[in-house]
């Protein structure tokens, strides 16, 4: 199986990504690290533990990370304050019985990658605070991580401001560091792709009918997201919602689920209207080599089949 570490701010779509990664027979979820984002760190950590316990994978270690963005200490911005209704404070799952690890997320990531001989993909699907802090402590980390797949950013779409996506906007200085760090193989999965990675209310019925714990939980999360999106963002199909973070997991099994183009990507940290925007050098004005494979679109049918099949049949 392909090994991965998921850096999450769980979060309804993070929870679906966790279940896919933990259950797919060709993936091995080595650990989860948690970060401030959709909710405060206590809740994103508890939600991560609950999600793993719910599917009988409380054995997967969870390490808690940063409670704040790296540079904006007065800027805790739990997502919920901006877009109420898409993410539960606490998941409607049994309180976690498994415990968070003693080692924090940043120390864990550095120690783990320094010592492993395995190829382990790092999949950050929340604000990039943990990854940037790990890079600050140990810049050579870039040479130890063979593949990074990030959910974040948007080229034609913003979701927290007119021009920015939440994960990047929530800690723009961290994101700028990560894109400048020199990772040899970095894939960015922005909103342009994840808005095609939708699950519909009809698919929720199929998930629920299976009676599988993971599928039932996913149905609850997707329905919550559909309701939330109806209230705060316009989507083409009001009976479906994007499950952003899950697209990164789908891409590990089916690379063709995303269509990528190679670009130099930088992050705006100052703009009055554009702070947190991922800036793609589409027309090669920056005279810089590409630093990311950027997913410009995704295959909705393949994504949906992957999610349903993985959660129902494992």
Burial 11-45 (b: 16+ CB within 10 A, else e): bbbbbbbbbbbbbbeebebbbbbbbbbbbbbebbb
Query: Please, which of residues 31-60 interact with Ca ion by CB under 5 A?
Result: none
**Residue 28 bridge partners (DSSP):** 3
**What, of Ca ion, ligand BDR, none, does residue 50 touch, CB below 5 to 8 Å by kind?**
none
Residue 46 near which of Ca ion, ligand BDR, none (CB within 5-8 Å, type-dependent): none
Contacts to Ca ion from residues 77-136, by CB under 5 A? 125-126
Among 14, 40, 171, 266, binds Ca ion (CB under 5 A): 14
What are the residues facing 198 on neighbouring strands? 242
Q: Toward ligand BDR, which CB reaches closer, 11 or 65?
A: 11
Instruction: Give the shortest CB-181-to-ligand BDR separation in angstroms.
Output: 20
H/E run at residue 206: helix 201-209
**Token pair for residue 249?**
């997991």
245 assigned to active site: no
Cβ at position 167, least distance to Ca ion in Å: 6
Q: Which is nearer to ligand BDR, 165 or 192 (CB)?
A: 165
Gyration radius (Cα) of the chain, Å: 18
Cβ proximity to ligand BDR: between 193 and 311 the closer is 193
CB of 294 to Ca ion, least distance (A): 18
- Reference 51, options 218, 194, 205, 200; nearest CA is 218
166 binds, among Ca ion, ligand BDR, none (CB under 5 to 8 A by kind): ligand BDR
Q: Can you give 111-137 as a three-state secondary structure string?
A: HHHHHCCCCEEEEECCCCHHHHHHHHH
Q: Which region, judged by CB under 5 A, interacts with Ca ion, from 13-21, 90-98, 133-141, 227-235?
A: 13-21
CA distance 217 to 206: 12
Q: Which does 79 bind (CB under 5 to 8 A by kind): Ca ion, ligand BDR, none?
A: ligand BDR
Of the listed 7, 9, 171, 266, which one is catalytic?
A: 9
Q: Which stretch binds Ca ion (CB under 5 A): 20-28, 84-92, 106-114, 242-250?
A: 242-250
Closest to ligand BDR by CB, 96 or 151: 151
* Dihedral sign (CA 54, 49, 52, 128): positive
**Contact residues: ligand BDR, CB under 6 A:** 11, 13-14, 38, 79, 125-126, 151, 159, 165-167, 244-245
Least separation, in Å, of the C-beta of 249 and Ca ion?
Answer: 12
- In contact, 276 and 168? CB cutoff 8 Å: yes
User: Where does this chain touch Ca ion (CB under 5 A) — which range of 2-10, 25-33, 85-93, 186-194?
Assistant: 2-10
Q: Which does 69 bind (CB under 5 to 8 A by kind): ligand BDR, Ca ion, none?
A: none
Gap between the Cα atoms of 215 and 220, Å rounded: 9
Do 260 and 187 contact (CB within 8 A), yes or no? yes
- CA 185 remoteness from chain centre: 17
* Chain positions contacting Ca ion, by CB under 5 A: 9, 11, 14, 125-126, 245
Residues identified as active-site: 9
């Amino acid at each position: 199986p392909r090994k991965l570490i998921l850096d999450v701010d769980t979060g309804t779509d993070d929870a679906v990504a966790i279940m896919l990664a933990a259950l797919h027979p060709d993936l091995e979820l080595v650990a989860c690290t948690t970060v401030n984002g959709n909710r405060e760190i206590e809740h994103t950590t508890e939600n991560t533990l609950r999600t793993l316990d719910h599917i009988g994978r409380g054995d997967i270690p969870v390490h808690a990370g940063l409670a704040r963005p790296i540079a904006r200490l007065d800027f805790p911005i739990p997502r919920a304050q901006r877009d109420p209704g898409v993410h539960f404070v606490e998941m409607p799952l049994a309180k976690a019985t498994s415990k968070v690890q003693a080692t924090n997320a940043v120390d864990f990531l550095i120690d783990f990658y320094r010592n492993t001989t395995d190829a382990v993909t790092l999949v950050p699907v929340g604000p990039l605070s943990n990854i940037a802090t790990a890079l600050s402590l140990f810049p050579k980390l870039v040479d130890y991580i063979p593949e990074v797949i990030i959910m974040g950013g948007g080229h034609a779409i913003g979701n927290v401001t007119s021009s920015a996506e939440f994960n990047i906007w929530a800690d723009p200085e961290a994101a700028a560091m990560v894109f400048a760090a020199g990772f040899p193989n970095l894939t960015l999965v922005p909103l342009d792709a994840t808005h095609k990675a939708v699950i519909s209310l009809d698919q929720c019925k199929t998930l629920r009918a299976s009676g599988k714990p993971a599928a039932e939980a996913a149905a609850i999360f997707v329905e919550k997201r559909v309701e939330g999106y109806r209230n705060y963002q316009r989507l083409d199909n009001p009976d479906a919602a994007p499950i952003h973070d899950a697209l990164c997991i789908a891409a590990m099994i089916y690379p063709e689920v995303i269509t990528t183009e190679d670009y130099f990507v930088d992050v705006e940290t100052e703009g009055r209207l554009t702070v947190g925007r991922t800036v793609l050098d589409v027309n090669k004005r920056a005279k810089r080599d590409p630093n990311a494979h950027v997913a410009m679109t995704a295959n909705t049918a393949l994504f949906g089949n992957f999610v349903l099949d993985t959660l129902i049949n494992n």
